[in-house]
Every structure is written in structure tokens, then in C-alpha cells.
Structure 1
Amino acid sequence: MNQPQHPAEQHPQPDFPSQEQPHPGWTGPMDPPPDHGEKSYRGSGRLEGRKAVVTGGDSGIGRAVCLAFAREGADVLFSHLDEEADDARETARWVKDAGRRAIPVSCDIREEANCRSLMDRAADEFGRVDVLVNNAAYQMSQPEGIEAISTEQFDRVLRTNLYGMFWLTKFALPHMPAGSSIINSTSVQAYKPSPHLLDYAMTKGAIVTFTQGLAQMLIDRGIRVNAVAPGPVWTPLIPATLPDTVKFGKQAPIGRPAQPAEMAPAYVFLASQEASFITAEIVNATGGTPLP
């Protein structure tokens, strides 16, 4: 991982095998298997003693972030859906292998009461929250257009991607001391929306605005707020929500999707004190797609 190499050749390139899964998707059946940094990520104490909450930590970017945070010295409480319990146990295993506390919590963040309970649990377990990563998200491709987006789907997308983020942040703040960090997962979709992901893309645009506004609101408290905007990333959400995985990521200038392990260092940096002068920023990790 540390040796220089052509970035397009560092991880698997499409075409990939055609594959489908029911939502929410699981890591095990994916071909090729995602890389979360299990063999490559090396920590250096950048988050020593920190207490972190990560939503959607069972798989994909969330698992990679949990693993990296743990290897940097943080204890991690992370949320997952009931159906993702097996993946959550695997994430917890990697955090514990790093010598840190892992607290997986089944939590559907579409409900305000669940968000409050999640943060109460974090406060009870840790005494404080130093880092909040709002990462959990829902999408479902609708190639037939806006007419095919049901009110049920629209509601689920907004409640997962926006309501949950809003509530979790609100309930975390009483437990976040000066020096804490909030990191939101937005997307290249915020700037270059794919028509078949219209509802998902609009929420990612809102996350950019939320991040920039909240950062200005909280800096007087000593809390930084930033976001990461990934391009295509090879996670279980892809075979579970897109109709065709064969060429996934090929549209990026780098010619392939990112692996979750390639996203985690951005979250580590933003959570660390090394990013002390960075707030209201969006770190774009798009594989070469130019963004404003």
C-alpha cells in the first residue's frame, strides 16, 4: 500500500461479475471482495484516546472508518441495521483486534427516538463524544425517472440521509467538548447528479449545505464540521441498489471504483488535531472527476 504504483492498477478494475443482492446488501457475497484496509492500514496514534460514533459502520466506508479509527487509538460505537448484524460483528472484531472498544448498536436512524437513544448510549459508554461520523445512507436506483420514485422511497431516502444526520448531530452536541469533530458523508452526486439517483443526489447536496452552515454555527464552541464527498465506492450498497454492477466505477477518470480503504484516511485526517484549521470544507475523493 505504501509503495508507489499506478493508482488505476492498485485495486480491481471493471468489468466486474454481474451480481445482485437484496437491500441492504452484505459484504460476503461481493466479487471482488471490498478492501477495508484490513491488511494495509497502519495507525500512528493520531486519535489516541478519542471516543467516536460512526453510523453505518457495519460495512463499506463505515467499516473502513471504524477500522482506521481503532488503529489510530479510538474507541468506536457504531450503528447498523438489524439485517446487518453479521457484518457488524466482523467490524467489531477488527476494532477489538486493534485493542480498542467496539460497541455495535442496532439502530434505524429514521426515527428520532432511536437517534436520541444512540447518543445516550454513547454518552453512557464513553462519557463524551469526540468524533461523530454521519455516514449511514440509503439509495435506490430508479432508471425510469421521477415518476418511478414512490413517496415511500422518497421518505426513506430523506429520513435516512437527512433527518437521521440532523437528529444525531443535535443529540451528540451536549456530549461533544471543544476540539471535537463532526464528519458527514456526502457524495460526488451532490455536484454531478445521476438522473437515476435523483432523490439520493438531492440529499447529498443538502449535506454539503448542512456541513458548511453547521461549521459556522459551531466553531465558537471549538467544534469543527467537515464532509467527505466520495465518488463511486465498491460497497454492499452497490449490488443492493443498482441494476448493473459490471461497469461500476468505470466512468471515473481513474477507470475504477474506490475501495472503502481509500476513503478512510480522509476521515482520519479530518478527525485528527492535524486538521485544526480545517472546518466547513468538503474533501472530494472522486477518482479524478472535477468538482466545483
Structure 2
Amino acid sequence: MVKNKNIEFLKEKTKLVLPEGAEYKGTITQFTSKYDITYNIGKRVTEIPDLVRESRDGLGWSDVEVLFVCEARCTIKQFGMEGEPVCILVDVHKAKKGVEAARMLIMSPTKPELGIFVAHLDVRREEFVGGDENWWIGDAPVVSAQRVASLTEARRIRAAKEIGLVEGTKFKGKCSHPFFKAYDIIFEFGKALPDMPPEAAKVRKELGWTEQVDACCRGLQSIPEFGAQPSEVVVVGDKKDGCCRVLVVPIEKPELGISVATLSEDGGQLIGGEQDWWIEQEPMFTAVKTK
């Protein structure tokens, strides 16, 4: 059986953007007024609550593949609702142009009178918008919520600067490869991020890295000789063996491969290689700060 790569991608990303402890904040619109709404994500569950299953069946969704189910708590203080237990079920639905999208069904597992909320989960932006059971993409949203960062903007920018991930810093150097002649490689650090993106978290987990993450930022990577225009990457910095270790994870072009490097104490040089590289090995690339 051939797996649908997009569905597998959605399944993996959903687990990463709805981890236990995550918080989503936004607004709910009622008539012409907007009220604050908060969802606190709880533990993942393997069984769909009976009331939720019955509601899915009633909506004609019983044959749709389920990606993820978890507990959560909903707070709308203006409605007198605080920490109300809800169930979040994510399945697959066709969005525009027939592309699969992550659809959320949010409802109380015990109080049907609270109603049903259907939303589109944007796994890249870590946000969702939706409305009642008849809502779908293109309709005016009744509820919109976005994942809350664990660090304030000022703190994350300061943390990034402290380890050298300064926005606008650009590195250029040569990369050697056993199958190609040496080629130019360029890295550029971008805006500091509030939390480590799911793509980077997944790579760190696969590599078995447990060190505390000091900072992360967006960035660009390019290899002019191969016609690779600047493409988006995520840069994550931590400490290992007394060094500032930098992990570069490609977002737009996975074929560029994962890079691991050390950033010199003065922030002027990146030295590294592929994902299994470390300081006792010969580096594949040395890139010097150009601005």
C-alpha cells in the first residue's frame, strides 16, 4: 500500500503543534462583539469519546482518517467558562484544489449543549480558524487562535544575540564534498523565533539531542553553483562540549540536507558538516561572517 505523503506529513506535524502543555489564544465572535478564548492542550488519547464519535458519525465523517485526538481545556471568561474540558480531534479534509488539510473537531465529551466547533488547523503557522459544524475554509471565521510563544519577543531576541544568532548576520564560505568539487555555501540568520519550530524539534529528537535550546531563528541558505536560490531554514543554537552548536534545518528544500556547525566565540565563523558532524572530525565547510 502506497502512503499518501501529504497525509503522513500532516499526521507528524499535528503531533508537534499540539503537544501537551501548549496554549492557543485568540478570539470568538458573537454577533458584533469579540471575546478572548484560550485552549490549553492536554494529553493525547487513543480512544475517541463516545459523544465525539457519535457527532462525527452524524456529520458523515466516520470514514475519514483520524490523525490525532487529545484532551484540552477551554476558557472564555466573559461567558463564565473557565477550564472547561473539551476533546480535540484532528482528521483529514480536502481543502482548496483538492489538497488534504488538517480539520479540527472541538467539543465537550460530556456536554452536547455546548455545541460543536469545526476549524482548519494550519500546521505551519500553528494557528486555527473555524466556526460551527457547517463552517469550512473560505467562510468568515467565528473563532481564531494561535499558539502562544513561551518567550517574550524581547527575551528571545536577547537570547539569540547572546549566543551569536544575530538577525542580518551573513556567512559565506566553501564546502567540500567527496563527490563534487568545492562549492560556495551561504548562510544568513534571520528573525529570532519564540519557540523551536516543529521541524527542528523533530530533527533534534531523531538525533537524540537533549541539551537545552538557548535560542533559535529563521534563516536562509543558498548554494549558488547548484542553482539553489536562498531558501528558508531554521537555525537552532545550544551548548555542547563548551561550544556554541548550531543546527541548520532546511524548511523549503529538504534536499539541501541538515547541517551541524560550531559558531566561534566572536561570532565571526561557522565551521561544520552534515548532521552527524562534530568538532573531532574534519569540517566539510568553513564560512566567515561577511556582515
Q: TM-score range by the shorter chain?
A: under 0.3
More helix by percentage: 1
More strand by percentage: 2
Structure of greater Rg: 2
Question: What TM-score results when the alignment is normalised by the length of structure 1?
Answer: 0.21
- Structure scoring higher RCO (CA < 8 A, sep ≥ 6) equals 1
